[in-house]
Amino acid sequence: MSMASLNPAPKRLFARVGQIDKVVLAFFVIVAGLALFVPGQAVDSLAFTGLSLWSIAPFFLISIGVAAYAKATGLDEQIARVFSGNPTTAVILAAGFGALSPFCSCGVIPLIAGLLKAGVPLAPVMAFWIASPLMDPEMFVLTSAVMGVDFALARTVAAIALGLGAGFATQLLMARPTFADPLVPGLKATGCGCGSKPVLRNAEVTWAFWKHDDRRATFGGEFRSAGWFLFRWLTLAFMIESLMITYIPADVVAQTLGGSEWWIVPAAALVGVPTYLNGYAAIPMVNGLLEMGMSLQAGLTFMIAGGVSSIPAAMAVFALVRRPVFAWYLALGFSGAVLAGYGYQLVLGM
């Protein structure tokens, strides 16, 4: 007779643990570890996580609501139809719209998931994906007020250029199966339910979806699914972010990234990639770093890298797309930030 048959309690316990969501489990393991070894940090990290989630709540709810609305009305398929046309036009439109949309790197994830599920090609989606967190009209005004019009213009140009560059670079890779079907196996495109490129139905958009029971159910299901997907990943990511902020002080970053040596820009991108920078919260933060000694080009690089591919956004993307697409997304965020920083350095040197 086996040990498991003599004492089934451990077997049942492990079975229950296996049923727990791994992201939720990881969060509670971190909290438990902090509570055991550094209880003060556990309280601080939980407070940081809660405040961070609260700060992006409007963007979180709006982006999920927009994604669910597009799904329930059939608008997602019409957008897919438009973006599945001329690739050049689609990328330009997506980059321009992204620079005007008010979504941060985390809030844009539900929209990206909805577009990819609807069958929108990855190239225009990537253009929107990269450009969206970096700039919008209100962000331009705030950046101008705090950091000057020149810096705001540099940020705007960088957002559009990075969106265009990401879109056209991705278009060159669309012949590869992974990029033609970028979603992880559990998140299939839903245009027709078959193949990597859904055949879009020629259905009209039902704007008043709430008048139809099936569409109301679609809205509710999509809202809950997208909300839970993003909420649990962001909660874990902000917890990790709190530890980074605690053990990597901002003044150390500023001192390290001051000066005009060639390596300052890529170093700023390396530091910025994992750092969460909400587009609005980034303005006073980066301005403070500039006052502490960070160079302007490093400031722009740091802001762009953190806006595009922060840890919270990257973790959500990791769960959304296939690994080569995830690596490509990080490479675009890093290389785009570096190119923007060097470009701004050249402009400052003129």
> How confident is the model over 144-155, as pLDDT tens digits?
988 889 999 999
Q: Give 321's strand partners.
A: 183
* CA pair distance 131, 91, nearest whole angstrom: 11
Q: With 50 as the cut, is the pLDDT of residue 198 above it?
A: no
CB 110 within 8 A of CB 219: no
Place of tokens 């301005």: 287
Per cent of the chain over pLDDT 70 is: 85
Lowest mean pLDDT among 44-48, 134-138, 300-304: 134-138
* CA pair distance 60, 230, nearest whole angstrom: 8
Q: Which domain holds residue 89?
A: 39-185+206-349
Any domain includes 128: yes
CB 112 within 8 A of CB 183: no
Q: Please give the pLDDT value at position 187.
A: 64
Any domain includes 270: yes
Any domain includes 145: yes
Q: Please give the pLDDT value at position 118.
A: 80
Confidence of residue 70 (pLDDT cuts 50, 70, 90): confident
What is the distance of C-alpha 25 from the center of its chain?
22
Any domain includes 9: no
Any domain includes 19: no
Any domain includes 30: no
CB 25 within 8 A of CB 17: yes
Number of domains in the chain: 1
Lowest mean pLDDT among 123-132, 281-290, 325-334: 281-290
Confidence of residue 31 (pLDDT cuts 50, 70, 90): very high
Q: Please give the pLDDT value at position 193.
A: 35
Q: Please give the pLDDT value at position 83.
A: 74
Any domain includes 140: yes
Q: Please give the pLDDT value at position 350.
A: 61
Question: Highest mean pLDDT: which of 37-46, 113-122, 199-208, 312-321?
Answer: 37-46
| pLDDT tens track for 71-90 | 888 887 777 777 777 889 99
| pLDDT tens track for 290-306 | 877 888 999 999 889 88
Query: What is residue 101's DSSP assignment?
Result: S
More confident residue, 4 or 209: 209
Any domain includes 7: no
* CA pair distance 125, 267, nearest whole angstrom: 28
| pLDDT tens track for 225-268 | 888 887 888 788 788 878 877 886 666 766 777 777 889 899 98
Q: With 90 as the cut, is the pLDDT of residue 339 above it?
A: yes
Q: Please give the pLDDT value at position 142.
A: 79
| pLDDT tens track for 270-283 | 888 777 666 666 77
Give CA torsion, residues 229, 235, 241, 247, to 10 deg: -150
